[in-house]
A and B are shown apart, each in its own frame.
Chain A
Amino acid sequence: MMVTLTIDGRSIKVRDGSTILQVSREHDFYIPTLCDDPRLEPYGGCRLCLVQIKGMPRPVTACTTPVTEGMNVETTNEEIEGLRRTIVELLLSDHPTDCMICEKAGDCTLQELAYFYNLRENRFEGERRQYSGSDGNPFIERNMEKCILCGKCVRVCNEVQGVSAIEIAYRGFSAKVCPPFEKDLDCEFCGQCVSVCPTGALMGKISMGKGRQKDIEKVESICPYCGCGCNITLHVARNEVIRVSSRPESLNEGWLCVKGRFGFRFNSSPDRLKHPLIKRNGRFEEASWDEALDYVAERFGEIKEKHGADAIAGLSSARCTNEENYLFQKFLRAAVGTNNIDHCARY
């Protein structure tokens, strides 16, 4: 079923069952949001997506309101912008202004909105939430002073991950996202919460202090762990992977597990092999590539000569690329001349 509605004077035909926000995004009407994520149930908490519908007594949230036939929507006008401005101003009145040292600076939705509404002064300055102590878990930095209670972390943990490790506790101005009884976080550490947080309230501990957003180069790749093939984005600074994220539009919808999101530091481990090694008298000695490769070629040649090609075998790896696996078996078949080739997890 299709319905026709008007948004900012433009007549639009859309699928029934969509929300005003979905339709507006599909048709490039800008509506600011903080608590919306298309992968989660609509929440209606931040109130930034308020729009005016002709004939309705008060503005409604675009994220929760389904489109109906003949609906006439205004996504922006003086009143709406005034409300949005007040909301951002209220949020800023209870938010540390430490953007200059915040890891999230440059990738922070609240910062963007403050800029957009040019909020230099704040009419509502007052008490700010102050929390001391930090969560002892090794993965996720929880800085609740920066939390804007958009509830995305709570929802992703419950709706997507099925863990419900955190919930909003307390009431009113004291409302706070925390694990039960404010204990340290003890969960699957998938970091889905970190990935949806619009501010610096939730961040990966291992990435802290490793580089600012502007210094990061992002490289699209695939997770090196299990067979799901999750799409990951490697954040690189100074020739080091400092963070892993994932795009919401990817195969894995932007979700990762603890290994995929936080398990990348092996890459820069000091244990990495850095030189070819040849064992002499039971001890490994560093060698040049020429030395090592010549030696291997020579020994393979000798053994093939003496015992035949089938005395040589190769084990390839599920950790290597298709190209490498292809060349590896080609090497054994064409260069060595044997079909003794297998990989450990072929079953």
Chain B
Amino acid sequence: MMQECNIVIKVCMGTGGIAAGGTGVVSAFNEEIKAAGINASVEKNCSVHNVGCRGFCARDVLVDVIIDGEKTTYEYIKSDMVPRIVQEHILQGQAVGDWEVKEDYHTFHEKQVKVVLSDCGEVDPEDIESYVERGGYEALKKVLATMTPEETIDLIKASGLRGRGGAGFPTGLKWEFARKAPGEPKYLICNADEGDPGAFMDRSVIEGNPHSVIEGMIIGAYAIGALKGYVYIRAEYPLAVERLKIALDQARQRGFLGNRIQERDFNFDIKIKLGAGAFVCGEETALIASIEGNRGMPKAKPPFPAQKGLWGKPTVINNVETLANIAYIIRNGADWFAQFGTEKSKGTKVFALTGKVKNSGLIEVPLGIALREIVYDIGGGIEGDRKLKAVQTGGPSGGCITADMIDIAVDYESLAKAGSIVGSGGMVVMDETDCMVNIAKYFLEFTQAESCGKCVPCRIGTKRLLEILERITDGRGRPGDMDLLEKLSNDIRSASLCGLGQTAPNPVLSTLRYFRDEYEAHIHEKRCPAGVCKNLLTYSILEEFCKGCTMCARVCPAGAIVGEKKKPHKIIQEICVKCGACFETCKFKAIKKG
């Protein structure tokens, strides 16, 4: 059977895949195929592709074995499992059923609609041919051959595409402003400074299909009249940077970049600029300052970058995901794109779904999808089937959607109305074991540390917000603290210079709005209802359940548990460090937390 077969093996080699051992899996396949003595003709047709992230990172290493177009997907593959796959599946045609993905893998994908990610996991990101084979750069050729820059802008406007970086500004309009703004040369910048904690949308797109971003940039440059582009990407994304470099070289060799692109009177090239991982550099003006070699600090707008941006020239800054949409919109038309989503929020959006959800990973859904579908269908519901408390969207700039709003449509307008944002795509699912005051504190720790320090409300204000939250979770909360938090939050929002400061209080305001009772419990009753805030916890032993097995005393790192064998034990509160080890260890549910 082997002789005539076309065998393709695809191994997930995104950052997630590599972290799970993807590199070893790839070489194991190569070695095994050789060692198994598959004859030459077979060998020729049998290839191992490195592919990018397909979203379900929790299951890595994911491997597709495609024989004559028939695909079998394996999960949790390690290199020592490869010989069996080669032996049984490739040589004997018998898939290894134990290791195949289960039903949930398919439901994870079923409700998703993939535009941006449609080629991720399919193309080899280090090989331009595999992108071209799937229709890559057709959009660019079409634009150059048949469309004027104005027509290109009109088409993007008609598609309804909005910026995927957070603010949701219509992309076509942004391009039009820059095209019409006086000043030469113009610049196009791809913002790949993804900085939200837990967000990896942009990284995955660049790692999985860098050419889709490059093609989008070239089309954008043609539309606005830019000669030079930059990809501003954080240095903490080495794999993405490496693949981007390879992709840029290949695109140059193929004549998609450089002078006289596709033999037309159009020159454009792209440079990579590495960022030092400052969250604020995702802000447009700070990003420009950073490219110019200055400290990444935001400036007041106006003037907007489209009027005066990089080196004082008209500049468009688009997010990775935004740009990755462009080629697909051109290829399939504005109407095709506009069929997804709602009236005002067209297309799809990539989210990084994390938290207490069963299936975490990268997902792409049509805008307007019900949050319930994301959490329960794609996400598979809450871990341990506990109760959903809230979904946090938009990262440190976002807010919470409570469990009773689970049917809300996920689009720009609906989320804003609920006091949150779509943002760049972070989505954290929280259950009853999450303390909302603690969540607010977590985000403030982040924004406080990432403030650039330029403006007073953000630099000192977020610090003071954090200090108030710290004392509340420490059990030192004061009666007026909730008012003070609210007042200071509103002032920071109104008075800060850039988006970072203006949105930094959102996690506080949002949790204050929906979870006042939790704040009150912390402040007035010195109690953390979710049992998270250490200083508000007491562990005690219920005498009636304690068998005196001494397990708890043995695991206690502080030596806070005393008692004789076979007799009820006791926790000395003054010594207890509230680590919870006893709670985890006790088989008789004799330890009480609260």
Contacts and interface: CB of A to CB of B under 8 A. Distances in A.
A59 B449 contact: no
Contacts of A161: none
Interface in A154-209: 167-168, 170-175
B297 A87 contact: no
A175 B453 contact: yes
A31 to B, nearest CB: 14
A158 to B, nearest CB: 9
Contacts of A42: 300
Interface string B183-196: 00000000000000
B295 interface: yes
Q: Is the interface of B mostly helix, strand, loop or mixed?
A: helix
Interface in B432-463: 448-457, 459-463
B459 A44 contact: no
Contact of A87 (B300, B450, B454, B456): B456
A278 interface: no
Contacts of B463: 94, 126-127, 172-173
A208 B456 CA distance: 29
B491 interface: yes
A83 B494 contact: yes
Given A127-B467, A175-B452, A175-B459, A47 B295 contact: no
A87 B464 contact: no
A246 interface: no
B542 interface: no
A172 B462 contact: yes
A141 B54 CA distance: 58
A173 B448 contact: yes
A141 B280 CA distance: 31
A151 to B, nearest CB: 7
Nearest to B467: A126
B103 to A, nearest CB: 46
B497 interface: yes
Interface string A8-46: 000000000000000000000000000000000011111
Contact of B460 (A60, A83, A90, A168): A90
A142 B502 CA distance: 31
A45 B497 contact: yes
Contact of A173 (B297, B300, B460, B488): B460
Given A86-B488, A173-B448, A149 B453 contact: yes
A50 interface: yes
B282 to A, nearest CB: 14
A61 interface: yes
Given A90-B461, A172-B449, A64 B300 contact: yes
Given A65-B300, A175-B453, A47 B460 contact: no
B300 A50 contact: no
Given A90-B460, A151-B454, A168 B495 contact: no
A174 B460 CA distance: 10
B494 A58 contact: yes
A59 B448 contact: no
Given A86-B491, A91-B456, A126-B464, A173 B497 contact: no
A172 B448 CA distance: 6
A50 B459 contact: no
Contacts, number: 107
A346 interface: no
Interface in B52-108: none
A93 interface: yes
Given A44-B497, A58-B494, A168 B295 contact: yes
B448 A87 contact: no
The winner among B280, B451, B484 for most chain A CB atoms within 10 A is: B451
A47 B451 contact: no
Contacts of A83: 491, 494-495
Contact of B455 (A44, A58, A59, A123): A44
B299 interface: yes
B497 A87 contact: no
Nearest to B299: A44
B454 A149 contact: yes
Nearest to A87: B456
Nearest to B470: A126
Nearest to A170: B453
Contacts of A175: 451-454, 459
A46 B497 CA distance: 9
A94 B461 CA distance: 11
Contact residues of A: prevailing secondary structure: loop
Nearest to B502: A58
Interface string A308-334: 000000000000000000000000000
Contact of B495 (A66, A87, A124, A151): A87
Contacts of B455: 44-47
Contacts of B457: 47, 86-87, 90
B539 to A, nearest CB: 30
A42 B451 CA distance: 20
B318 interface: no
Contacts of A171: 278, 280, 449-453
Contacts of B494: 50, 58-59, 79, 83
A301 interface: no
B456 A45 contact: yes
Q: Chain B CB within 10 Å — which of A44, A50, A60, A91 has the most?
A: A44
Contacts of A86: 457, 461, 488, 491, 495
B496 interface: yes
B301 to A, nearest CB: 9
A91 B299 contact: no
A172 to B, nearest CB: 4
Contacts of A43: 454
A82 interface: yes
B190 to A, nearest CB: 24
Interface string A84-98: 001100110110000
A180 to B, nearest CB: 12
A45 B280 CA distance: 15
A45 B300 CA distance: 9
Contacts of B453: 149, 168, 170-175
A47 B300 contact: no
A208 B496 CA distance: 36
Contacts of A46: 455-456
Nearest to B296: A171
A330 B459 CA distance: 66
Interface in B489-504: 491, 494-497, 502
Contacts of A66: 302
Given A65-B300, A173-B448, A47 B459 contact: no
A59 B456 contact: no
A148 B454 CA distance: 10
Contacts of A123: 484, 488
Residue of A58, A83, A86, A170 contacting most chain B CB atoms (<10 Å) = A86
Contact of A91 (B449, B460, B488, B497): B460
Contacts of A58: 494, 502
B367 to A, nearest CB: 24
Nearest to B448: A172
Which of B295, B460, B467 has the largest number of chain A CB atoms within 10 A?
B460
Nearest to A59: B494
B300 A61 contact: yes
Contacts of A167: 295
Given A44-B300, A87-B457, A175-B453, 10 more contacts: A45-B456, A47-B456, A50-B494, A64-B300, A86-B457, A124-B460, A124-B488, A149-B459, A168-B453, A173-B451
21 contacts: A44-B497, A45-B497, A47-B455, A59-B495, A64-B299, A64-B300, A86-B461, A87-B456, A124-B464, A124-B488, A149-B453, A149-B454, A149-B459, A168-B295, A168-B453, A168-B454, A170-B453, A171-B449, A171-B452, A172-B463, A174-B453
